[in-house]
Amino acid sequence: MPAQPTFRVALYGDAILTNPKWNKGSAFTTAERKAFDLTGRLPYRVNTLDEQCDRAYDQLQSRESPLRKNSFLQSLKDQNYVLYYALISRHLEELIPIIYTPTEAEAISNYSHLFRRSEGLYLTFPHQDSMEEDFLEQIKGRDIDLVVCSDAEQILGIGDQGVGGIGIASAKAVIYALIAGVNPSRTLSITLDVGTDNEELLNDRLFVQLVRQYLPHSLLHFEDFGVNNAKRLLDLYQDKHAVFNDDVQGTGAVTLATLMSAVGVTKSKLSDQRIVVFGAGTAGLGITRQVRDAMVTLDGLSPSEANKRFYLLDRCGLVKASLGRDQIRAGLEDFVRPDAEWADAQANARGEVGLLEVVRRVRPTVLVGCSTVAGAFGEDVVREMARGTARPIILPLSNPSRLHECTPQDANDWTDGRALLATGSPFPPCKMPNGKDYIIAECNNALIYPGLGFGAIVSSSRALTDTMIIAGTQRLASLAPALKDPDDALLPDFGSAPAVNFEVAVAVAEQAIKEGTAGVDWKVEEVREKVRDRQWRPIYGEYVYDPQGER
Ligand SMILES: NC(=O)C1=CN([C@@H]2O[C@H](COP(=O)(O)OP(=O)(O)OC[C@H]3O[C@@H](n4cnc5c(N)ncnc54)[C@H](O)[C@@H]3O)[C@@H](O)[C@H]2O)C=CC1
Ligand SMILES: CC(=O)C(=O)O
Ligand SMILES: [Mg+2]
């Protein structure tokens, strides 16, 4: 049982009851009620946090649709942080799909209808002159460890959602607190709506300068930026600040861990795989590069040999040399297939080499979907793949659930139960031909980014390097249930995400210390305890009234 912290708090009366960071509702103790002018403002009986969680859970269950549950939880967050996080922590597997994918996508698309109360920081183009002032106002008097920022250009698979982008920044921040123990009051969520083209470039840079100047030790997490901005910002700042692009690096890491687990089951090597990636955008490129780099660093392939293991498809079909320059976006160059290889390929009606033809000729062992094209892995594609390999590894990763390239049950049926599967959003287990259940791993970056980020934060690392990410990824892969039982899931479930991400954070911090990016001088054997000590937990502290205290 972690010790109860003591806080000196300057707010009292309605001001403390309406402040979600400090409010305890009916759990204020009798002594606190006297000290904070609350005796007449609350029902007499003092509740424990457990009692409050039980009551809130009952109230939640009376909301039938996932979206209504999402709204209820959002209101709870607006009222009482500790209760909100404590409740979700007690029902992680059930409630993560409510506050994150798939339900959060629906909440974001309905942002203006559901809007009740603002949260985080809105940096908007019409107010670009006051950007610095608005930023400083939000961080005044606060220690910030983590900035989660979205420009909302490509939210999950649902496209540009404008101001609703605050929803994904906040949801990602919540997951950091729930799964890794990042203190939510030391986190800032931002939505950037900064105009178009050149203005966008200029304002993005201005924004990053503000973070670097005023929060030099924070981790800056980019979420759901469009493909060009995602890469540009990462390339620009990777050596200058601890920046992290979740869709590129987080997705790359969790997919690499999934593949490490899957090749453990098939008793092959990563570098033996032929990998088809359908949807060569932010996530597709992030995955491809991460897995390619692992083939080089872990399996000893040369980079050019490793590049040849990949076949990328986008809107224009297979990415091959004869496509126009405008169709081969920056970053794909390493993976362009030579035309000669496809000279006698069957083009589809649009004159492109399509997925079925690629699968027929390449006989891939791995098929990854990050295209947002629901149903793109049809029966013909999956059966064709299953003809060419004994254990097809199929990862339909597009979110939310309705955009998946195929359902796990279909993939399972069409491969007679031979497929190794993981999906981007949660899915129920498949029924195998032998009647047993096959648990579908959720290959979502939320299974790893909290630990990666927290590892960088606790070690005060000035960067989140590729080697730190690899260390975290290997730790996650080592915890895969399929390593013990090949019929089990390829990744741990979200119920064990906090324990898993603790391990990831430890691995990342250890690596930061080893490679000299850390700002702490801990011995390696101290890291676990230090990480544990820094974890925030949703428990009530004891409050002492102090007019000079915190607000
Ligand atoms: N499971 C996970 O952890 C993650 C899943 N995703 C999901 O992956 C999907 C893509 O996300 P991003 O990469 O951020 O978006 P993006 O827009 O950068 O990439 C999507 C790509 O798919 C391509 N595409 C669209 N229609 C296509 C078609 N008919 N055939 C082939 N390619 C086509 C687009 O041209 C684009 O390059 C989303 O649904 C997102 O939710 C993204 C990040 C993490
Ligand atoms: C999971 C995630 O980051 C996405 O779907 O964009
Ligand atoms: Mg994302």
Return the pLDDT at 64.
94
Return the pLDDT at 119.
85
Return the pLDDT at 156.
80
Identify the three-state secondary structure at position 161: coil
DSSP-derived pairing of the beta strands 187-193 and 121-124: parallel
- Length of the chain equals 551
Q: Sketch out the chain's domains with CATH numbers.
A: 6-96 (1.20.1370.30), 121-241 (3.40.50.10380), 249-447 (3.40.50.720)
Which member of 81, 100, 438, 543 is catalytic?
Answer: 100
CA dihedral of residues 337, 341, 342, 343 (deg, nearest 10): 130
Return the pLDDT at 1.
59
Q: Residues 160, 200: contact at Cβ < 8 Å?
A: no
Return the pLDDT at 198.
60
Hey, what are 17's tokens? 């009851």
Which member of 69, 77, 172, 320 is catalytic?
Answer: 172
100 is known as an active-site residue: yes
Find the ligand nearest to 231 CA: 1
Residues 6+ apart with CB under 8 A from 218: 144, 145, 146, 147, 211, 242
Closest CA to ligand 1's atom 42: 283
69 is known as an active-site residue: no
Return the pLDDT at 37.
98
Statement: the pTM of the whole predicted model exceeds 0.90: yes
Pocket lining: 246 vs ligand 2, CB cutoff 6 Å: yes
Cis peptide bond upstream of 43, omega within 30 = no
Return the pLDDT at 329.
85
CA distances from 487 to 166, 251, 260, 484 (A): 39, 24, 15, 9
Closest CA to ligand 2's atom 2: 156
**How many Å is the Cα radius of gyration of the chain?**
24
Blockwise average pLDDT, block size 10, the chain, 551 residues: 86 97 98 98 98 98 97 96 98 97 91 81 84 93 95 81 86 98 96 70 82 96 88 88 96 98 98 98 96 97 98 96 84 94 92 96 98 97 98 97 96 98 97 95 98 98 96 98 97 98 98 96 95 97 96 90
Return the pLDDT at 196.
60
DSSP-derived pairing of the beta strands 366-369 and 243-245: unpaired
Return the pLDDT at 226.
83
